Amino acid sequence: MNRLIILMLVAVVASGCADAGTSSSGNGLAIEEFSISDNTLQPEQQANLQVILKNYNENPTTLNEISIVNEGELEVSDKQCSSDEIRAAREDLYPQISCSWTVTAPGQEFVEGFESKDTPLKLRVDYSTEFENSEPLKVDFQPLSEIESSETRSTSFSNGEVSVTAEAESPSSVDSPENIQITAQNSGPGNVEGNYNFSYSPPELFDCPGSQNPVVDEEVEFSCPVESGTEGVRNLFITTSYKYVKSPNLDISVVNNQ
């Protein structure tokens, strides 16, 4: 019994450490459904393709593209969407939109000599969005002569697609700039396309780049000076914006009916 209690206490403590300084705002823009009414088609048969998107991001999200790519021998037509725009999430309300297409299988010649042939479809959802740390990175600015020692303060935040970590020393000298270390990386099921863009608050404290281009593994890491000019604790916020692409596949087979 004593051993069980000890293990439970260790688990609770470990959980608390893992959650410290970390915040999350959901799952970004999620593909709730990507399905077809019949994924085993006979030649020239038609079926209905359905996509449902739900936005968990509490910041603005711009839909750049919702399309079916890699059609192969299938004919995809008659696209209809409930909207071209999607609102931000608010108070546990997660807006969604739906799109549908008509899919027509190729003729008998496509499966001639085969029992069936696979011809998958790929969905491309391309959108731009942003998010920031809900918990500030708190840095205490003091005169250098009064600083005896400093420690690293950090905050990590994610929206289910991109994760950002910011670290700074506190107390920090009010007389000379100290660097803040920022890391952003893809942590979701899609791909970051192009640069990560950053804005900072309060803006007058930061001498940091507005954009960074990932070179390896869709990750950027950089440092830049932060300077207050006045004494006291300042709450630092970082807004990260990016373009994200999700491209799931849907398996479809055409069967020989002869």
Model confidence over 149-204: pLDDT tens digits? 999 999 999 999 999 999 999 999 998 888 999 999 999 999 999 999 999 999 99
Q: How far apart are CA 87 and CA 56, in angstroms?
A: 10
pTM for the full predicted model: 0.84
- What percent of the chain clears pLDDT 70, i.e. is strictly above it? 90
Mean pLDDT of 77-98: 94
Task: Report which of 181, 182, 227 is spatially closest to residue 204, judged by C-alpha positions.
Answer: 227
Average pLDDT over residues 203-216: 95
Q: Give the confidence band of 26 by pLDDT, cuts at 50, 70, 90.
A: low
By DSSP bridging, strand 172-173 and strand 178-186 are: unpaired
Mean pLDDT of the chain: 89
Beta-bridge partner residues of 239: 132, 199
| CB atoms closer than 10 angstroms to residue 6 | 10
Q: Which residues fall within 8 angstroms of residue 91, CB to CB, at 6 or more apart?
A: none
Residues 6+ apart with CB under 8 A from 224: 179, 180, 182, 206, 207, 208, 209
Least confident of 12-26, 28-42, 126-140: 12-26
Split at pLDDT 50, 70, 90, the class of 94 is: very high
Asked whether residue 17 carries a pLDDT value surpassing 90, the answer given is no
- The two beta strands, 61-69 and 116-118, are unpaired
